[in-house]
Structure 1
């Protein structure tokens, strides 16, 4: 990910974004159950849409007001670059599928992207009270404490992760995921395969995991974690080691000490 700074984004803007994300998180926490909701695909999709709809009003207007002239990326499952300027890439319920199945791995994320580079992000985990924030050039924090990526230098000791970006991806992508998991199991220590991406990327930023990769360009699952990892001192590239941007077709975030070894493993996956 190319370096970016955001000196014009002061603490007041970060506070506004944090307040909006926390309000949305509280509403989702109220909707959360310890049992799964929905049996058929149609029922599950309906519950997912209902979660998004329940919090959208708490997010869209406050975030657009926080940055006059900014725009809203409507499709949270879309990928690829955006037109120049400032855009909000928001996932009202990152890990929505977990939420509706009574699992705790979900969050609310809001990321300001400037000319296709994330410059500010807030990730709120309502069930635990964890609040991850990053502003380009100012570091990444968990509840105000600075984050730092892992100091590991040996891939064979690494805890890594991946997962699918969305349901219904093409068969080739699923096969690449499977092949990459096999390759990393051979070369690493442990591989976690789960969703959503952001919940794995916060672990990379905090030094709990050592790398995360994904064969996808879904923006909403990557931009928040990309900024957090980069600001925590990690390497954020594509799987070939080239700088990552919204135009990239795949993604790798890793501790610097294992990044080269991870690209060697993953870049061989056809």
Structure 2
């Protein structure tokens, strides 16, 4: 995961991005409740869209203004390669489904992607006040404390995770998820299956979890965590073992001592 522009320019941008994301986080926190909102599917979707709209009103213009010439990736559930240049990939409510169900696992994320490589990211957890940041080539941090991935080398001792990327995945993807969970339950210690991806990936970057994989390419759920894990010393590839980019079809981020073993199990299922 490299950068084609000077590292200093991205580092200088980071405080502005952090301020914008943390401000957006306050908006999302103010919208949180202690009771689940919505009973029918239509009501739940309406609540999700309301969260997205409220946060985007706060975060979009400051980010575009901070990097003149950058563009906005509109569809947060989209995957595949972006056109060349700089793009903001933002999830205004990463874990939105948790937010509207009064659960605590949600965040606001903003990632600058340059030529399909994430080069700067901010992930803010409004309920705890924690902010995870990374700049390509500059390491990953939690509230300015450096992050480092797990030193584990034995998959049998590993806490790993996966989850679906979006509602309504196709049946073949669901089958692969199920098969992979069974395989890692056998080979690993514990498997977490949850959403959102970013909330698992920050644990990998911090060394609390050891690996995360996904049979999908929803970029807004992966770009932030991919950069955090890579900058914390982890290995980030697709499930064929090739270097990951926003155009990759699937995803694996792991502690370097476990990546090969996890890949051996997961690649035949991809």
Q: TM-score range by the shorter chain?
A: over 0.9
Structure 1 distance, partners of 2:27, 2:216, is 30
Match of 2:38 in 1: 38
Matched residues in 2 for 1:3 and 1:154: separation?
29
User: How far is the alpha carbon of 1:11 from its aligned partner?
Assistant: 4.2
Alignment of 1:104-183 (within 5 A): 104-183=104-183
Aligned-pair RMSD on alpha carbons?
1.0
Paired residues, what number?
269
Aligned to 1:247: 247
Name the CA distance, whole Å, in 2 between partners of 1:148 and 1:239. 23
Residue 98 of structure 2 is matched in structure 1 by: 98
Q: Does 1:88 align with 2:85?
A: no
Q: Tell me the equivalent position of 2:3.
A: 4
Q: Structure 2-normalised TM-score? A: 0.98
Aligned mates of 1:10, 1:82 — CA distance in 2:
19
Residue 10 of structure 1 deviates from its aligned partner by 4.5
Map residues 14-93 of structure 1 onto 2, 5 A cutoff: 14-93=14-93
2:262 corresponding residue in structure 1 = 262
Shift of 1:8: 3.8
Matching residue of 1:227: 227
Runs of 4+ in 1 over 4 A off after TM superposition: none
Q: 1:182-201 CA deviation, whole Å, 9 max, x = no partner?
A: 00000000000000000000
In structure 2, what is the Cα distance between the partners aligned to 1:257 and 1:136? Answer: 22
Structure 2 residues not aligned, in runs of 5+: none
Provide the rounded CA distance (Å) in 2 between the counterparts of 1:189 and 1:234: 19
Name the SS for the 2:103 alignment partner: coil
Residue segments in structure 1 that go unaligned for 5+ positions in a row? none
Output the CA distance in 2 between the equivalents of 1:35 and 1:156: 38
